[in-house]
Amino acid sequence: MATIKLQGNASGSGSVTLTAPNTNSARTITLPDQDMDFGNLGGAGSVQTWVNWGGEGAVAIRGSGNVSSVTDLGVGQYRVNYSSSFSNTNYSGVSSAGGNLSSYAAQDNNQDHNSFQGNKLTGSMPVFSVDHDGGEVDDAYNMDLVCVS
């Protein structure tokens, strides 16, 4: 069985406190088997939700965190559904849309896209993909959404 090790810094004189939330539920935190860079957690916010999916044809999630599903709402229109809802809509989201670079060719309208988000909800966010050249809503090969709170 693996163990958990907390190691202080010999040069520091401060303290770090881990505080459990006010809950009556048992919670489990599963750490990935990789080194992690959490950046500045002191007020800068942290990633709460992220997802990468293929938007052409049947929607397929390639990787995600705190995302239960992505719903295809029509051509270039998706709804990212969170596994755990936000407590309010005061979070930031950024999305991207792009083509399949292995088949990209200049002036290929099926490969260059922009994206934008609709009204944020506590449990989901709509994301749209628009063809860069023509300006019409269009499915994109690569879709991403990251939400920070």
DSSP string, 56-81: SSS-EEEEEESEEEEEEEETTEEEEE
Total domain count, the chain: 1
**Confidence (pLDDT) at 147:** 93
**Structural domain that includes position 136:** 47-103+111-148
List, for residues 124-146, the tens digit of each pLDDT value.
Answer: 999 999 887 777 888 888 999 99
**Could you tell me the CA-to-CA distances from 115 to 4, 14, 15, 36, 144 in Å, in that order?**
41, 44, 43, 28, 9
Q: Is the pTM of this model over 0.95?
A: no
84 in a structural domain: yes
23 in a structural domain: no
Q: Which residue has the higher pLDDT, 103 or 26?
A: 26
